[in-house]
Amino acid sequence: EEEEVKLLMSAGSAHSMSCSLALLEKGVKFEAVEVILSGTSDVERLNPVFKQVPVLIHRGKAISDFQVILDYIEEAWPPSDTTPALLPASAYDRSVARFWANFASNKVALSPFSSFLQATPLHRFHPFCF
């Protein structure tokens, strides 16, 4: 059975990129949908609390908040012989990985590089998702 997976995202969002990379790492086929937050987009309906990307849609259900999405991806597509784990097996090593991922995410989101990403079309970053 083919599962429909969509990721509502923005090229300028480091959190969107993290979720996209996690799906790619897991080998999940998905449709990357670039959205412009305009007050009338699907994001406001699917993520009424934060009204921001990313939003993952899997089996017709919306999951929002990038950390929740990353946890969901790991649980929905668990590690196997053909699917890698996103985090190390050790609890300590997972905490270190989460610390550095959070650090990088916050630094990139606040850097001048973020402005460049926001002005660049999504397909330049994700040619294999379309």
The residue extents of the domains of the chain are 5-124
pLDDT of residue 130: 39
Residues in the chain where the model's pLDDT stays below 50: 1, 127-130
- Residue 105 is predicted with a pLDDT of 73
User: What is the predicted pLDDT for the residue at 40?
Assistant: 59
Three-class DSSP category at 69: helix
Q: Are 86 and 25 in contact (CB under 8 A)?
A: yes
Where does 5-124 sit in CATH, by number? 3.40.30.10
User: Which residue, among 85, 49, 86, has the nearest Cα to 65 in the 3D structure?
Assistant: 49
